[in-house]
Structures are given as structure tokens and as C-alpha cells.
A and B are shown apart, each in its own frame.
Chain A
Amino acid sequence: MKALFYPGCSMQKNARPYLDSLQAIREDINLELQEIQDWNCCGATEYMSVHRVAAHALVGRNLALAREQAGDTDLLTAGCSACYLNLAKTDNQMREDAGLKDTVNQALAAGGLEYQPGAMKVRHLLDLVCHDIGYEAVKARVVKPLHGLKVAAYYGCQVVRPDYDGRWDNHEHPTSMDKLLAALGAEPVDWALKTQCCGGHMTVIGPDVAFGLIRRLIHGAQEAGADLVVTLCPMCQLNLDAYQVEMNKHFHTDYRVPVLYFTQLMGLAFGKKAKELGIGKEFVDAAPALSRIQAEAPKVAEAKRKRRPKPGDALPMPGME
């Protein structure tokens, strides 16, 4: 499968391991990524609220370039949630608002470009892997299953909301990455903080607020029994990993929950070397957690025989299908 690829700034720098691991597994999942030539900044989270038209024109240029270079594909993917959301947002708002479409296209015309909304299908990398490549295809490539590794799938906020084209199963409690990790042999833990805030840029603006949020996530993952947190967004990874150290200092705690990208775990399961996947560059060392990977799948305890309930016994729970 071929898709245009918008790497964004993070993947070039702090989220380099995300890019490296993606490069490492690309062929295994038969994903051909063609980087947009001459792409520019996506405007990050803030620009949209500072100058709406300029922000959309900025993103519109990337969309226009993508369309121009796309050839026979109309897929455009990004690994960073903010990049993905901005691309999807501009495409959507140009679709909804004909005035904006015209203004953006006027701006693009200055550079000899034009973009018709809807011409590219903007998809997050995780969405492509889960829904287009599919769990079965991923499973088929697994050579070293991640048996025994308990993982907390953490989605963050931007990939699931506002979800213009209804790609995600549930905005509050998505399960796509959980299923992907299960396909790799890992054991996803059930936790309720999957889409809660990582602090975003509050780490810079108001660190106290951010630390509280980071602690809640890290503590929650640990409480849920996770060996590590798996993420799909450079911002989330940065906050939970690099700022975990800061947070520990702030609260006098000693959390050590490593945070990796889902592509890194895919690489491990596909038998790639840790170094090739950028593992080891994280602030919180992932090695102890990864050492828990077992050769065999853990045995599932057999369900207890049913006993006739007596008054005062626990009430049955509703089943989750």
C-alpha cells in the first residue's frame, strides 16, 4: 500500500525513534511511504487559534503539495497526532466552508498551488496500520511475540477527536491500538486514561499543571499493571517520558514507566534489533520492562466452577462483548 507521508518536525528530532522504527518495519507491512517534497510546518496546536486563515493556508500548502506529488494514491498519512489533526482539520474545514476554501486557494495560487478538499484522504499512521493493513497482516509478520509484556495503550487527545470522518471505534475509549498490541502478542491492560490529557504544551507554560496530569497517567498505567505505556504521538511520548523525570523531581516520586511508540513494539515483534528501532534513546529506560518478554504465552487461569450463589454474594457483572 502506498501513501504520501508527512513526517512533521518532531519525527526529525525528538521523535526520531518513531521515524526510525517506522522505517524499519515499513517493508514488513508492505507500506510504501513517499515523503512530501518541500513540506512545511503544520502550525502545531496553537496557530489555528491565532490566525485561522493563515494557519489553514499553511496546512493547505502541504495538502496541495501532497496532491501534486501523489500520483496514483490519495492516501496521506502522518505519525504525529498534531500533524494529522491539522491536515484533517484543514481538509475538513475547506470542505465545509466554501469561503475558506476560496481564500486558502487564493493564497496557494500565489505559489502556483491549488487544493480541492477531499482530494487527499488524511489518515493517522495507526489508523492505516490497524484498519487498512489490518491486524491479521501484522500478526502474520510476528516472529518474536511480545508474550508476557503488559502494555497500556495510550492514544492521547488529538487522534480520536474530533474524528471528522468517523474512523475510530470510540472517541473516549478506543481499542484499535489495544487490538494491534494484542496481535503482537502483548497483553493490553484495561485502563480508563487512554484519551486523557498528557499536558500538551503546559509542560512549558505551566509545568505544575502538566506534572499533575503526567503523574496521573503514569500512576494510572502502573496501577493498571502495565510494564510500559505505548503511544502514537511524539508530544505524548515527550511529556510522559522526558518529563516523567522532571515530574518525579517535582513530586519526590520515583515512577519508572517507560514510554515507547507502537512502531517500536511492532519492530521488536517483527524481530528487529532494539537499536535499529531507536530503543535506548528514551529517558526512562525500557530495558527492564522489555526483559519481561517471555518465549511462551502465559497460561490463562481456568475459570472457577460456578457455585450456587447465597444471599449476600456478589452480584454478577454485566458482560463486555
Chain B
Amino acid sequence: MSKPKFAMYWAASCGGCEIAVLNIDEKVLDLDANFDVAFWPAAMDAKYKDVEAMEDESILVTLFNGSIRTDENEHLAKLLRRKSKILVAFGSCANEGCIPGLANLSPREQIFERAYESPSTENPNHLRPQAACQVPEGTLTLPPLQAVIRTLDQVVEVDYHVPGCPPESHQIAAILDVLIQVVKGEAELPPKGAVLGAGNSTVCDECARKRDVKVIDKLSRIQELPQLNTTDCLLEQGLLCAGPATRSGCNSRCPNVGAPCIGCYGAAPGVLDQGARLMTAIASVVDANEPEAIDRVLNGIPDPAGSFYRFSLAHSLLRANREALAEEP
């Protein structure tokens, strides 16, 4: 019997997810032993036409990382959906837009402005990327940038979700183990739509720091604090830590080394909008009752949308800035 096919693809992403998969060390050999890697551009050469030529549902599982930013991303999402039995939204980008999703706060023109005209960019001829460009050899094409970033499940049906930026390697290894067991007929697939490789609580559950009743009278950025106490809750020390509103599963990696959680594992189970949860929680414990005094505390969050929705903007209720959304077809 031939080995089942495995694919991994990167859309709008940084490549960190691929590295996280490689970080499972020798476990990657189990992958190779049990699967036929049919398509994995980061690891081996492959052409889209090869995938297009495959039979529908011929790939058992595709780990899809990255969000949908360009027409090319969308095409591959739809293509891989059609060719795969199991499509996994892998990593924060595919699930909720992640850092690239923050671009949803700006319309396309502003994004280009920033990328091609900022003071640090050398672009004397004010060149901009074109969807199609005539050269002596013929027409060169580039996939156009879409109005806003979408998550994988906003484009195609997704079977499982693996959160994290990137997903923790120990979690990936565990998922791989389950997958191999399933292939061997030793285990059942989890129910469709399940979130894999994460806990059911929030980061605080795994955080070793001591916590108390919370009252926030000042919020600072980490560089503004003279010294950080190594044992107490970071939020209580005035840092905007997203841990209370972020799904567990990372072993509280950042807070345990003194950096506030930035929320990469996404919302806790059952939560509709991660940013709103963090927003309401922080606002509730602000130690002020007068509008001006409240604002004084809240001014410690110079970029609220970016702070609360750092990873989940594209998957939030509002998804994007109104101007950016207006360009959506």
C-alpha cells in the first residue's frame, strides 16, 4: 500500500511555521516514514501544475499556513482544499490573520505608500508593483494584492485549526503522532472543526507568576518600566499582557521569561472576538471613575486596535478598517 500524501503550503506568512515543523527534530523522520510528501515548497521543489494535475482529495492532509492576501493565495487555498481530504489551518496567519492581518487597519494605497515611499525606501522613480507588465519577452504577471487579508476559513472550508505563531513544536509533534496513529488505524480523527495542539484555558493557566486581584492605575510599555519583578503577574506590574485572553498551549513561553503575552494562540474556547475580551477585561479593572482619569490610564495603550487584535484582527468581528473593507468586491 502506498503511503498517504502530505502537503504543506505557505500563503501570506513569514516561514516561521515551516521552521516550527522542522523543529520537531528527528520526529520529522516519522513524517517521512509514514507519508509521501507530495507538495511542500519550503522543503522541496514543486510546481503548481503538479498539484493541479493531482486527483481531487488525493492528498490526505495539508497543513496550510499563512493568510489570504493575494489572488495567488486564494487560488492555492481553493486548489489545496479540492485536492485534500483534510485541510488544516496551521498557525496564527491561517487561523486569524496574525501580524500580516494588522495591515487590515489600512487601505491598500496606504500599504503601498508605506512600503514603497517611506523615508527608509530608496525608490526615486516611485515604482509600484503592477499586476501585469510588458517586457520584450512578453507579459510578466504578479498576483494582485486583495483589499483585505482573509483567514483560510473565510475562503474555504477548514477541517482543523492549529493556533500559534508559530505553533509550538511539542504540540506539532503530538499532532503528528495522532495523525500517524490514525493512518495506522490505531486512533480516530478528532471531531471536525476541532482546535488541535492547544489547551482549553488561557495562558495564565500555565503561567508560573504569582497573581492577585487586579487594579490598573497605569499601563506602560516594557521599555518604560525601570525594573520588572520576576515573580509577579506582568499585568499587575502595568504591562499589557494578553495572557488572560489568549488560549493556553504554549506553556506560557513569553510571560515565564518576563515578556508579556502578545496573544498569538488566539481566543480562548468559545470566544467570538479575542480583542474585545482583552479590551473589556483591561477596561474593567482600570482604577478610575472619571472620564478624564480613565483616559489618563488608557492613554498607556497608544495603539489599542494593534494591541488587542495583534494576531486576531482579520478574524475579528470587524475584520478591518472601514476604508479597507470598502475596497472589497
A touches B in complex, CB < 8 A? no
